[in-house]
């Protein structure tokens, strides 16, 4: 399995307020980004896997919604998460 419990704890500790804070926007965006990167690599090897492609599109939409929310609420947190995860924007 590509996403273990230890990896989730590491992601939330690095980008959230703490490792127990799984609901923060930054932690969720980091988790979605990790999953998006994994699915992108999978689709490079399996071009005809349409169900995974659909899942990837849904994840990108969820991450976009969270980023838009963060941009509206706190622009500094938005800028810092964009810089940390090296997202284009």
**Structure confidence by residue, pLDDT tens digits, 20-68:** 888 899 999 999 999 999 999 999 999 999 999 999 999 999 999 999 9
In angstroms, the CA 4 to CA 64 distance is: 24
Q: Which residues make Cβ contacts (< 8 Å) with residue 87, sequence separation at least 6? A: 33, 67, 81
pLDDT at 1: 75
pLDDT at 17: 84
Give the burial class of 31: count Cβ atoms within 10 A of its Cβ; 0-12 exposed, 13-18 middle, 19 or more buried: buried
pLDDT at 89: 62
pLDDT at 74: 95
List of domains in the chain: 5-85 (1.10.287.10)
Q: Which two tokens stand for residue 36?
A: 């998006």
């Amino acid at each position: 399995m590509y996403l273990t419990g230890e990896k989730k704890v590491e992601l939330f500790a690095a980008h959230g307020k703490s490792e127990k804070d799984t609901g923060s926007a930054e932690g969720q965006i980091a988790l979605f980004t990790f999953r998006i990167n994994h699915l992108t690599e999978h689709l490079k090897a399996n071009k005809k896997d349409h169900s995974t492609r659909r899942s990837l599109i849904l994840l990108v939409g969820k991450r976009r919604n969270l980023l838009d929310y963060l941009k509206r609420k706190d622009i500094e947190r938005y800028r810092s998460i964009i810089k940390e995860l090296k997202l284009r924007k």
